[in-house]
Structure 1
Amino acid sequence: MKTTIDQLFIGRVRPLLPECEPTGIYKTAVDRPLRLGATGLEGDEQADLRHHGGPWKALHHYPAEHYAVLAQEWPQAADLLAAGVLGENVSTHGLTEHDLCIGDILRMGSARVQVSQPRAPCWKIDRRIKVDGASRFVEAAGVTGWYYAVLTPGELAPGDTIELEERPSPALTLADYWDAVLAHRPDPQVLRRIAAAPGLAPDKAERCRERADWLERNGASR
């Protein structure tokens, strides 16, 4: 599995209209190498550090081809739906949630990163593209993008290669993760296997374990 970085994006915190809520969703493409550290790219900011950023969400990757799916769903927003609009740092073609697994370790430029979780869309997507319910559609369609934790800091630049180095959980793609966690009554054992996946963000693992416990207490087959 090998592809290249098409574009890199960073941004400072800005107000998101109409509520003027601070957000880091506005990003600008850069054409120079950027240092990637434990909590993200140099020059990039997140407003709500409880839900965004940090070591388990250091880098956000969104497939450029997903924008065609979104434009087909909302043709009135098609002119806006282009790489960078959903706040991603890394944009590529040829790599989606069906191709990557939780815990995959990738060489990206001179850095090494690990797939830690899919992105959980929030209401700020609705505001950014001016479409009510956009975040719900992005989640339901599984076109969410994903986050990386940084294992080895380094530099990234447009045109750099992204290459798979290790795959500890080959049966757990990001698409499989969404199928399980969005199911009405998933198999508790499936949730426990997800929770045990190497590289999965600890909060996501804990939620899977808690839901598995609840389902077992309340009868998973009802």
Structure 2
Amino acid sequence: MTSLTALCIGQPKPFRGEDTSAIDKHPVDGRVAIRSLGLAGDAVADPKYHGGPEMAVHHYPHDHYPIWRDYLGGHDLLSRYGAFGENIVATGLAENQVHIGDRFRIGGALLEISQPRQPCWKIEHRFARKGMIKHILKTHACGWYYRVIEEGEAEAGDAIERVEVGHAEWSVARVFAALFDPDDRTTPADLRAIANLDRLCPQWRGKARDLL
């Protein structure tokens, strides 16, 4: 069992030209309500591609920060929480240790892993470094999203307790690799299995069907 280091929220801000983004998130003090569409005080800039009940809460393993410091040769953003736009800051859980459909009790809320996070251009723009997306595709250090099964409140220091294992053969890393890593030896049987994971979000199940 691990514990919650911080909860981070953000609001849309100017990002690039006319684009806005809420990727710039910062820790919030005290108890935070976790609702079906995310944390109280948090928002998304582009609801077409972000947010909604299948992407309500974003978790990016803080365990990856030292690796990114080495890869990038250091970066000021990595000196604080929320560098990757994550809502949940914690160590001790990574993509190869959690599965699609795993359920976690965090404070008074019950969350379920719904999908890996697909990296987009905003990560490289935020860090002003090219090659980060390629590195994520290769290492599967993608992070993941939760849907909210039971709303509740949480705060830093609360336990993150896995109370149910979902699709035990399909870790977040495995699903991400199968659909996005060009070097992964994904088979048609793998894609059929992914398309039938009932706890995987419809968008990713559809992508598996499209690849078939």
TM-score band by shorter chain is over 0.9
Aligned partner (choices 109, 112, 137) of residue 111 of structure 1: 109
Q: Is the 8 A contact 1:16 1:22 kept in 2?
A: yes
The residue correspondences of 1:43-192 to structure 2 (distance < 5 A) are: 43-75=41-73, 77-82=74-79, 83-181=81-179, 182-183=181-182, 186-192=186-192
Which structure 2 residue ranges, 5 or more long, are not aligned?
Answer: none
Once the two structures are aligned, what percentage of the paired residues are identical?
36
2:190 maps to a residue whose letter is V
Q: Is the 8 A contact 1:23 1:47 kept in 2?
A: yes
Separation in structure 1 between the aligned mates of residue 150 and residue 89 of structure 2, nearest angstrom: 20
Residue 20 of structure 1, CA deviation: 4.5
1:32 maps to a residue whose letter is G
182-191 or 138-147: bigger deviation: 182-191
Residue 26 of structure 1, CA deviation: 0.6
Aligned partner (choices 26, 35, 38) of residue 36 of structure 2: 38
Which aligned segments of 4 or more residues in structure 1 are displaced greater than 3 angstroms? none
**1:12 partner SS:** coil
Separation in structure 1 between the aligned mates of residue 94 and residue 18 of structure 2, nearest angstrom: 32
**Number of residue-to-residue matches in the alignment:** 209
TM superposition score normalised by structure 1: 0.90
TM superposition score normalised by structure 2: 0.94
Separation in structure 2 between the aligned mates of residue 208 and residue 110 of structure 1, nearest angstrom: 34
Separation in structure 1 between the aligned mates of residue 18 and residue 70 of structure 2, nearest angstrom: 29
Aligned position for 1:210: 210
Q: Is the 8 A contact 1:40 1:59 kept in 2?
A: yes
Alpha-carbon RMSD across the aligned residues, in angstroms, is: 1.4
**2:84 partner SS:** coil
Aligned position for 1:220: none
Separation in structure 2 between the aligned mates of residue 139 and residue 108 of structure 1, nearest angstrom: 29
**2:119 partner SS:** coil
Residue 133 of structure 1, CA deviation: 2.5
